[in-house]
Structure 1
Amino acid sequence: MVALAVLGTVAGVGVTAADADSPFPYDSVERLAHGVEYRQFTVTGSKGVVHGHVLVADLRDRRVRVDLLTPGAVAGRQAVSVMAGARHAVGAVNGDFFDITEDQHPGVPPTGSADGPEIASGRALKAAVPDAQRFGPARPPGETTRDVLAMGTDHRMRLDRLTLTGEVRTAAGTYPLGGFNQYALPVGGIGAYTADWGSVSRQRAVCGSDTSRGAGCSMDTYEVAVRRGRVVAVAAAPGAGTIARGTTVLLGRDAGADTLRALRVGDRAAVGEHLTPAASRVPYVFAVGGFPVLRDGAPLAGLDTKTAATRTAAGFGAGGHTLYLLALDGAAESNAGLTIAELAAVLHQMGADDAVDLDGGGSTTLVARDPGARAATVRNHPSGGAERPVANAVAILAPAR
């Protein structure tokens, strides 16, 4: 484990029982709601002194919940403070890495959609893009865009992998589903898009390849709209605009386009999709993509020890009953930052046994709502001086203290 110098002393209510096995000296501690605290800390990493912020939630209190915040569409972006305000969240941090730019595909609009799976309030919103199509820094060997931080119906946090299982059933045969509301499809695949996708063009889904995010866009595409088990429309190119509730748009590229071309308006077609956990039999009420940095109390092999940056992370300890949401101050206030290995060390010292790295840099944002306040405010100092609109956020919901 990376060694870090930790500065400051605990103030306010002191160290909670959840931290008893690994006391961490915080600069300050503020109770926000039942089972939720906002804490500040200072550490010295390999590049200098870093100031950070963390929300700590005791999930043994059944009044405390964790959920995914979204802008109302998978393909969309919004400030964390706005999303938190809409749900009256006690606090939140920005979530997964996302499709932020399409400089490599001129004329193709970025979707703002996240890399990994999303489950919000128990409902699956999207699946993971192919590994080669992800945005974000290098991950530890063996990790994938399907990795998630999740909370089950048993109120416990977990690390898991969510894999899309689905199919398109037609009179001619049954075909595997290669995508679900995601900004990139595998070569030769068929993706399903629902009203949750939003109104952004689906053109990006046929760009890139299974080995390169910057590879060109396929010209061999086809779309089919399905409603109530019947094909209701077809098109030769990816479309845009709002998808009606109850309608699923199937988009095929390459071999997937050939499969869809066999369908005609009026033909029977059925679509089914599900996000299948690799480890848990407990249904998930919340899941967000992120790559693991801690697992079972140990840092993953191959964590970056050289590149320091502004980071966001989420971890849990106490058997999945204590959640930590962490964000560092941005470069304008602290140009040191932490490496991924140092980030894992800080989370472990705080009490986390498992943790994921989330989107950092200009996206790093932590908001919290003071008791009695109407809205959450930004507590860290974002790198760009203001909040960046992001794809999703991890929120803590709890009654006032």
Structure 2
Amino acid sequence: MRSALTFLTAFGALAGAALVGAAPAGAVQSSTRLAPGVTYRQFDIQGAKGPTHAHVVTVDLRNHHVRLGLLYPGAVAARAPVSQLADTQGALAGVNGDFFNITETQHPGVEATGSTDGPAVAHGHVLKAAVPDGQRFGPALPPGTSTRDVLGVGTDHRARLDNMTLSGSIRTPAGRLPLRGFNQYALPEGAIGAFTSDWGSVSRVRATCGTDSDRAAPCSTDTYEVTVRGGRVVAASDSPGTGAIAKGTTVLVGREAGAQRLRKFFKGEPVKVTHGLVAAHSRIPYSFALGGYPVLKGGKPLGGLDDATAAVRTAVGIADGGRRVFLLALDGAPEYRKGLTIAEVAAAMRSLGSVDAFSLDGGGSTTLVARAPGASSVTVRNHPSGDAERPVPNGIGVFSGS
């Protein structure tokens, strides 16, 4: 791979846009201000496989009228186009988010959940935890990374990379059981997971399919489900169910050893379920977080990044101690569709000024939207490689206002 990417002269400049800011790698850049603290720009990049085109939204979090937040359709197991998510939530700009469970061809008859691989936090509220590494839908992870890796913004208004692990328990008069899953499409073998109203109405069967090392392994034949409402068991079933879960209700799903433990529960038994995400590197609570995987830390690319497979990509960069964020999406138009390798993405983010960078879902999911000054809705700025927006389960939104 080339030691550095070549950024070519800015292409497709916005009409009337002023030339502002420092251009990466000496490129001439065209940029337009979407709002105070938020700019949009686009430029060509020459990768090893050919030219590609980048769209970047730069966010200055030192401006306290600007914030980042999770875009999602109101349920973990649901999807919508990025433009719809942004307009519904009033975002100024946004990109697609985490890798997700898009198909279940290896499990005939099992519904794909549309749920993401990694953790998710919205407005400080924990939506879900991470699936086991061996169950993730996305490409192979770089060495030293996991499905628990997140990019988030703390209540201190700073962006950072972190790792978030589920912490929870199920308490009954007979003792305490560990909670090993929360609103996630795959549970560890022998585990019990909890599902709440945040999950949505999609079937919970997928949570009992695959193994910790093989997502294509058959679904478990030893499952059990218990419904808890008002702190007591109100129903039970031999198989995971479907349909919306009422607020204040928790559905416990067990497989193998977890199912055997749930079978000992009885109707009316008092049960208390607790859950949360514990951050490995920060004591600052997160206002929002989502999964993916790091490609750049401390200004250095991670070891073992793929330098052979090029594709259309989405990534996020962090600079200035978490006060500046770059949202990058490559263009999926036919002339640019070869894209970049992950190693090239790390180099591109570093050229933009990022100290840390994080890869999000790419390919047909890659989408960047932005609302022009005075416009009532966002427009898609890149060309999705599938020639139309792909519905996705979450993304990063840029919000501006008091």
Shorter-chain TM-score range: over 0.9
Relative distance call for 1:137 and 1:331 in structure 2 (3 A) is farther
Q: Is the 8 A contact 1:181 1:192 kept in 2?
A: yes
Matches of 1:43 and 1:134 in 2, distance apart? 30
| Distance of 1:376 and 1:333 partners within structure 2 | 24
Report what 1:6 is aligned to: 7
What are the Cα deviations for residues 29-66 of structure 1, in whole angstroms up to 9, with x where unaligned?
11101100011011101011111101100000011000
- Residue 159 of structure 2 is matched in structure 1 by 157
Residue in 1 aligned with 2:288? Answer: 286
| Corresponding position of 2:351 | 349
Aligned to 2:86: 84
Query: How much has 1:171 moved relative to structure 2?
Result: 1.2
Aligned to 1:178: 180
Match of 2:378 in 1: 376
Match of 1:226 among 218, 228, 249: 228
- Give, in whole Å, the separation in 2 of the partners of 1:69 and 1:319: 24
Mean Cα displacement is larger for which, 27-36 or 54-63?
A: 27-36
Q: Distance in 1 between the 2:225 and 2:3 partners?
A: 50
1:87 to partner: Cα distance:
1.2
Q: Partner of 2:276 in structure 1?
A: 274
Residue type at the aligned position of 1:305: D
Partner of 1:338: 340
Q: Name the SS for the 1:135 alignment partner.
A: coil
Deviation at 1:229, TM superposition (A): 1.2
Could you tell me which residue of structure 1 aligns to residue 244 of structure 2?
242
Q: CA deviation at 1:23?
A: 6.2
Shift of 1:72: 1.0
Match of residue 48 from structure 1 = 50
For residues 383 and 273 of structure 2, the distance between their equivalents in structure 1, rounded to whole angstroms, comes to 45
- The separation in 2 between residues aligned to 1:13 and 1:139, in whole angstroms, is 40
Secondary structure in structure 1 of the residue aligned to 2:351? helix
Shift of 1:82: 0.2
**How many residue pairs align between the two structures?**
397
Rounded to whole Å, the distance in 1 between the matches of 2:133 and 2:271 is 29
Please give the alpha-carbon distance, in whole angstroms, between the structure 2 residues aligned to 1:162 and 1:373: 37
SS in 1 for 2:134: helix
Relative to structure 1, is the Cα distance of residues 125 and 179 closer, same or farther in structure 2, using a 3 angstrom cutoff? Answer: same
Unaligned runs of 5+ in 1: none
Tell whether the 8 Å contact from 1:126 to 1:180 is kept in structure 2 after alignment: yes
CA–CA separation in structure 1 for the residues paired with 2:304 and 2:122: 31
Q: 2:134 aligns with which of 132, 135, 147?
A: 132
Aligned equivalents of 2:52, 2:158: Cα separation in 1 = 30
Matching residue of 2:107: 105
Contact 1:185 1:205 in 2 (8 A): yes
Q: 1:284 to 1:303 in 2, by over 3 A?
A: same
SS of equivalent residue, structure 2 residue 336: coil
Aligned counterparts of 1:332 and 1:282: Cα–Cα separation in 2: 43
Question: Cα offset for 1:274?
Answer: 0.5
Q: Give RMSD over aligned pairs.
A: 1.5
Question: After superposition, where does 1:183-202 map in structure 2 within 5 Å?
Answer: 183-202=185-204
The alpha-carbon deviation at position 9 of structure 1 amounts to: 5.0
The answer on whether the counterparts of 1:168 and 1:270 sit within 8 Å (CA) in structure 2 is yes
Q: Give distance in 1, aligned partners of 2:154 and 2:25.
A: 27
How big is each residue's C-alpha offset from its partner over 1:201-243, in whole Å with a ceiling of 9 and x where there is no partner?
0000000001101000001111111112111111110000010
Give the superposition deviation at 1:331: 5.0
The 5 A counterparts of 1:56-67 are: 56-67=58-69
- 1:263 pairs with 2:243: no
Gapped regions of structure 2 (runs ≥ 5): none
Mapped partners of 2:84, 2:174: distance in 1: 47
CA contact (8 A) 1:226 1:249 kept: yes
Quote the offset at 1:13 in angstroms.
3.8
CA 24–318 in structure 1, closer or farther in 2 if over 3 Å, else same: farther
| Partner secondary structure for residue 195 of structure 1 | coil
SS at match of 2:198: helix
Report if the CA contact (8 A) 2:6-2:25 is conserved.
no
Local SS of the residue matching 1:166: strand
Alpha carbons of 1:310 and 1:47: their partners in 2 closer, same or farther (altered >3 Å)?
Answer: same
* TM-score (norm. length: structure 1): 0.97
CA contact (8 A) 1:69 1:394 kept: yes
**Is 2:288 the partner of 1:300?**
no
How far is 1:138 from its partner?
1.8
Residue 97 of structure 2 corresponds to which residue in structure 1? 95
Secondary structure of the corresponding residue to residue 196 of structure 1: coil
1:201–1:26 Cα change, 3 Å: farther
Distance 1:9 1:393 in 2: 26
| Aligned partner of residue 334 in structure 2, secondary structure | coil
Partners of 1:285 and 1:26 in 2: how far apart?
36
Question: Given the superposition, is the C-alpha separation of residues 351 and 236 from structure 1 closer, same or farther in structure 2, using an over 3 Å criterion?
Answer: same
CA separation of 1:294 and 1:234: change in aligned 2, threshold 3 A = same
Tell me which amino acid in the other structure corresponds to 1:384: G
Output the amino acid matched with 1:65.
Answer: R
Give the superposition deviation at 1:24. Answer: 5.5
Structure 2 residue identity aligned to 1:14: L
Cα distance, 1:26 vs. partner?
A: 5.0
